[in-house]
């Protein structure tokens, strides 16, 4: 019987025969912890594995991205706990100036096809964009992974999704994933993986792949694997210095379900509060007054997202009374914005541009809303309290930029 992509990746990292539903021991290529959860990882290691030598240290990292820089004394202390532990054990820290940990793993070429990576981030499955198995785990599981270089895992089922048709601007990668959420629902992929196929994928950028994979969490899923395309292949070659071959499913692989979704002529989408799958066409909410706009997060904080924003705001200004807050995903993206003059464009348009990180998505930087405030956000979640007490609508950078410019949808 043939294997799916996830079965093949786990098989490469296990000494046991891998099949759906089986619990196996899986070797980990990279183990990480962020500033949220990282201190508890350290405490668990020191409690349960005192004075133990960590294996394969060069592949163990800390990444500080949720509250970067620390905004409270407790958070500053927690980050320092991680720094001290890393220094003591010879581990690398990507500190508060670096950006979002999962993006760093891709930029540095650590995440690549067929590899397994874990961290204390619920959106670690974003690494499916580069055909890697990324998985967010709890503090104790990550502590065990730090100590042993492996974890146990139940091999999940896979849904095969065929995206029929093509679409064009102003629809973007964010719109396609919101549309999929509308069709599948927040529990439609619960505990499962998705393999994406379809002609439209061949026209998507690496940034679109990141967006598509990052919202797998909002479908209740484990990880998504879009089929290989030329843009992602070229990006990976530039990052790793060599050609990368994607892990592909066998022709006779077994799927729990096969779904076809027609994206022909896709229109801009928006997720209304309080759930990411409460999705409508933007045109259905035309005229909705907007008080703030947030562009960033692991879902839409790359340079292409910032270019969308700057192209619309160039020689324009955000509407009176609207606060536009922008957070690039990484230091690299921030540097590209500087070199391309995008920060100058956004500054002149009245935007606030912050340092790299998760931004308001993690309650740690700019992007929080007050009660009664309506926000358009490019992040991945909009349940009550996630980005403040206001009402958050999830949309693409294009929709967000136009809302900032007009003060309404």
Give the mean pLDDT of the chain.
94
Residue 360's pLDDT is 76
Residue range 268-272: mean pLDDT, rounded? 97
Residue 359's pLDDT is 82
Residue 376 pLDDT > 80: yes
271-406 has the same fold as 5-154: yes
Residue 284's pLDDT is 96
Residue range 57-85: mean pLDDT, rounded? 93
- pTM, 2 dp: 0.95
Summarised one tens digit per residue, pLDDT across range 248-259 is 999 999 999 999
Helix or strand (DSSP H, E) at 263? none
328, 70 Cβ separation under 8 angstroms: no
Superfamily of domain 158-262: Aconitase, Domain 2 (3.40.1060.10)
Query: Which two structure tokens, joined as six digits, stand for 366?
Result: 């700019």
150 forms beta bridges with: 27
| DSSP 8-class letter at 267 | P
What's the CATH architecture for 5-154?
A: 2-Layer Sandwich (3.30)
**Cα-based distances in Å from 232 to 62, 167, 209, 238:** 26, 19, 8, 10
Quickly state the pLDDT bin for 82 (edges 50, 70, 90).
very high
Torsion of CA 293, 78, 70, 87, to 10 degrees: -120
Residue 363's pLDDT is 66
Residue 163 pLDDT > 90: yes
Residue 41 pLDDT > 80: yes
Residue 169's pLDDT is 92
Whether the CA torsion 61, 63, 69, 75 is positive or negative: it is negative
Helix or strand (DSSP H, E) at 38? helix 38-48
Q: How many percent of the chain have pLDDT more than 70?
A: 99
Question: Of 62, 43, 72, 81, nearest to 121 (Cα)?
Answer: 62
Q: Where are the domains of the chain?
A: 5-154, 158-262, 271-406
CATH code reported for the domain at 271-406: 3.30.499.10
Summarised one tens digit per residue, pLDDT across range 127-142 is 999 999 999 999 999 9
227, 213 Cβ separation under 8 angstroms: no
3-state secondary structure of 103: helix
Helix axes 38-48, 139-148, angle to 10 degrees: 60
| First-last CA distance in the chain | 50
Q: What share of the chain is helix, strand, coil (3-state, %, to 5)?
A: 35, 20, 45
295 forms beta bridges with: 326
Summarised one tens digit per residue, pLDDT across range 166-205 is 999 999 999 999 999 999 999 999 999 999 999 999 999 9
Residue 205's pLDDT is 94
- CB-based contacts of 240: which residues, under 8 Å, 6+ apart? 109, 112
Cis status, amide bond into 170, omega within 30 of 0: yes
Summarised one tens digit per residue, pLDDT across range 315-374 is 999 999 999 999 999 999 999 999 999 999 999 999 999 999 988 776 666 878 889 999
Residue 382's pLDDT is 84
């Amino acid at each position: 019987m043939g294997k799916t992509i996830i079965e093949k990746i786990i098989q490469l990292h296990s000494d046991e025969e891998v099949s759906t539903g089986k619990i196996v021991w899986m070797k980990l290529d990279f183990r990480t912890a962020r500033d949220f959860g990282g201190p508890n990882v350290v405490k668990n290691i020191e409690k349960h594995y005192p004075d133990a030598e960590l294996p394969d240290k060069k592949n163990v990292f800390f990444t500080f991205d949720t509250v970067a820089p620390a905004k409270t004394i407790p958070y500053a202390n927690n980050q320092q706990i991680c720094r001290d532990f890393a220094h003591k054990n010879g581990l690398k820290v990507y500190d508060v100036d670096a950006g979002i940990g999962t993006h760093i793993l891709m930029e540095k070429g650590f995440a690549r096809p067929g590899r397994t990576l874990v961290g204390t981030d619920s959106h670690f499955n974003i690494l499916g964009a580069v055909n890697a198995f990324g998985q967010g785990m709890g503090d104790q599981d990550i502590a065990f992974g730090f100590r042993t270089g492996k974890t146990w895992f139940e091999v999940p089922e896979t849904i095969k999704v065929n995206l029929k048709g093509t679409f064009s601007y102003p629809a973007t990668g964010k719109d396609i994933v919101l549309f999929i959420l509308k069709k599948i629902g927040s529990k439609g992929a619960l505990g499962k993986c998705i393999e994406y196929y379809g002609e439209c994928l061949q026209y998507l950028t690496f940034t679109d792949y990141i967006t598509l994979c990052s919202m797998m969490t909002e479908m209740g899923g484990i990880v998504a694997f879009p089929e290989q395309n030329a843009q992602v292949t070229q990006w990976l070659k530039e990052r790793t210095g060599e050609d990368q071959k994607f892990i592909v499913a066998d022709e006779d692989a077994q799927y729990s379900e096969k779904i076809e979704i027609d994206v022909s002529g896709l229109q801009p989408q928006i997720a209304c509060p309080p759930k990411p799958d409460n999705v409508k066409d933007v045109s259905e909410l035309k005229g909705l007054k907007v008080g703030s706009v947030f562009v960033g997060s692991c879902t839409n904080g790359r340079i292409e997202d910032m270019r969308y924003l700057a192209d619309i705001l160039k020689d324009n200004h955000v509407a009176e009374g609207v606060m536009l807050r922008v957070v690039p995903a990484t230091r690299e993206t921030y540097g590209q914005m500087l070199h391309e003059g995008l920060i100058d464009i956004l500054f002149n348009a009245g935007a606030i541009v912050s340092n790299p990180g998760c931004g308001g998505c993690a309650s740690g930087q700019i992007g929080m809303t007050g009660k009664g405030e309506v926000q358009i956000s490019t992040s991945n979640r909009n349940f009550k309290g996630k980005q403040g007490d206001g009402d958050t609508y999830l949309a693409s950078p294009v929709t967000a930029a136009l809302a900032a410019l007009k003060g309404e949808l």
